Structure 1
Amino acid sequence: MSETKPSQRPAIGERELIVLMALLMSLQAFGIDAMLPALGEIAGGFGMGGNDRQLVISAYFLGAGIGAFFPGAFADKFGRRPVLFFGLICYITLSIACAMATDFWWLIGMRLVQGLGAASLSVVPAAIVRDRVGGDRMARLMSLIMMIFLVVPIVAPAIGQLILMFVGWRWIFGAMAVMGLIVGTWVWIRLPESLAPENAQEIHAATILRNMGTALVRRDSIGYVVGSALVFGSLFGFLNSSQQLIGEAFGAGRYFALIFGAAVLGMVAANFTNSRIVERFGARRVSHTALFAFAFISCLQLWSSSQPDQSLWQFVPLLSMAMATMGFIGANFSSIAMQPFHQIAGAASSAQTSLRMITGALLGAFIGNLYDGTARPLAASMLSCALLALAFILYSEHGKLFRRVNAPRAGDTKPD
């Protein structure tokens, strides 16, 4: 039986779907955040210094961004399940390869390839959700998925730090492989194919390029793709430099996992709140308000970091508030950007995710490399990204913010 035909597996409920999609996406997050406490030890073990340690993170981001171009088209032809399994196999096997690395640049190369191969774990879940629902309801489901997904960045550094204490950094990659195997088994047993046969697309270069191009040229969509790439690019900048910033600039390396988790906790609460209010107020109204709040908090962070001897307890609350606003931006921007593309959801998710990830990875690497022993470069970058994102949203909305637009049915191809 073709994977694009209706699955004979028992129907998966909405709650289980939310948890499973969140876990699939969480594999990517664990592969990044569990590494953070170990960056200094990894770099030291290979005789590397300075900001080179950040490449362990940015190489994976870049690989995932480039790799995201491909899974959507294949998922639109062969179904969501086969493409997910390819990504899971790459994630597991390359985790083992990274654990065996004997050279720093070999490790960076494997991280790049791992990001390339596992890119479907970021792309396909959004297409699966779009197969089932549209409009503000999709934004609600994506918020719930993000809420569960964000539990991983809270606990992953602690897990990484614990593994580091007892058995060394190589076993963090072993933990990644085990997690991939567990989630992959759940997908195999419970996740049905969601691609309707009539929506299957042919694998032709012209068709793929046309579908991806369509997903990136519509004015009502592209501003939200670029806007989210800018906002989360500043977050990637923090991820790249977080171990140095918290552990070295503020001298709180022992408490890195606790501080990092506390900063992410606001995003969890925001995504939960968003899931409760987005259908009432609309994804646009909520996310536009959050973008203005993000810009304002970034202004405060820039002012604070410009003062002599900024303390950790001045930096962390402002960072936590900024990250909380991202909880109202990420799922809503992604959902709005996906609304016009039900019939090519895989290609659209692939193109949009790739643009977000590549932009975010390059921007995050650039911001991280600006690290100078203070939080000033990060704060200035956050404010700049917020203002640029606002400009792109204004472009998509023809200069009119806070509108409420009626949501389409799941089968519609009109914007929300």
Structure 2
Amino acid sequence: MPVDVNSLWLIVAAALVLIMTPGVAFFYGGMVRAKSVISMMMMSFGAIALVGVLWVLYGYGLSFGSPLIDHWLGNPFASGNNLFAFTDLLGIGKDGAMDPNMNGLAFAGFQATFAIITVALISGAIADRAKFGSWMIFAGIWVTVVYFPVAYWVFNLGDGWAPSILKVNDFAGGTAVHINAGAAALALALVLGKRIGFKKGMSKPHNVPLTLLGASLLWFGWFGFNAGSEGAMDGVAAIAWVNTLAAPAAATLGWLIAEKIKDGKPTSIGAASGAVSGLVAITPACNILSPGWGMVLGLITGFICAYAVDLKWRLGFDDSLDVVGVHFIGGWIGTLYIGFFGQGIGLISTGSFKQLGAQFVGAAVVTIWSFGIAWLLGTAIQKTIGFRITNEDEVAGVDTVVHGEESYVLDPAV
């Protein structure tokens, strides 16, 4: 049987994207306090477990099932479709034998990893102070009510309203992943409130090499994230791959320049954060920009995001690990940039603001939907079972209080 190269590429790309979530765990884990690193990493691994199960049960059906109702959620109970649409890809006949749909399953697996990492990204905003059980409840409901519908809006190219009606260009998830996660992160940061002693410089990363390892895994996996979104081994996938190299490289330089200007010293954490901001910004645009324009986008994004992460000190919201400053702001920059410089669709190519308007509306709708639902859900959890740990437990350390473990055993006798 001949090998389906496109399906093979999707399977490989899915594995690359999945490794990004442990990358998030390392990236975030290195930046928190030593007594919170297990909690931080567990929220990412919890997302893998929970969202992976929900995706197979019904997430794929909600996101990519058909027929659809009014370009919105889709009808999981219509003829020929059900909430468990994933099982249709197994091709189980009346005799019980399986005839798997290789391309369909590869695509479903690839998209599952997007759902997983979107949830994991949110967790950085509530580091050092969240209950694990409450986080898991939030994650399960949020991915169902917010991510799965938004994935349908953005990634269902035939019927989702963003690409089919507005003609929004979001190749790999600037709105569906980064703006979506960033808006939810802001909502949860507001609901859970500030950490004890909240002020600039209140805490330093406890393990910088761990964060750099996480950033490296993220960048490595992001080639699957962007190039894999083409679903084929072709020229578009190649340009997406090159942009995934060029844009974050330029963003790293942009962030370091900004750090030198405002703080006097370029830092390794800044380099890692700059690379991630560039990866975020190029995600929606990697198919529609030349590498030159991609590097300009990266340079601008790295520079702006280096300043944007300081907004939390000025505005008074405790986004612990800068999910808003990097993912939300970076996602907005990359999404709007297409309206200006997108090849063949942007203002520079067409002289029209139409694409810019479409990009803005798409990003705004996702922002409002995600923020609103996350705020309501987070508030409900906080007022019932509680989302935030007590002040005493925060001081003692969330790792020992919630998980009964310590990240580092410092007693040489143990």
Question: Could you state the TM-score of these two structures normalised by the residue count of structure 2?
Answer: 0.32
Q: RCO higher in 1 or 2 (8 Å CA, sep ≥ 6)? A: 1
Structure 1 or 2: more helix by fraction: 1
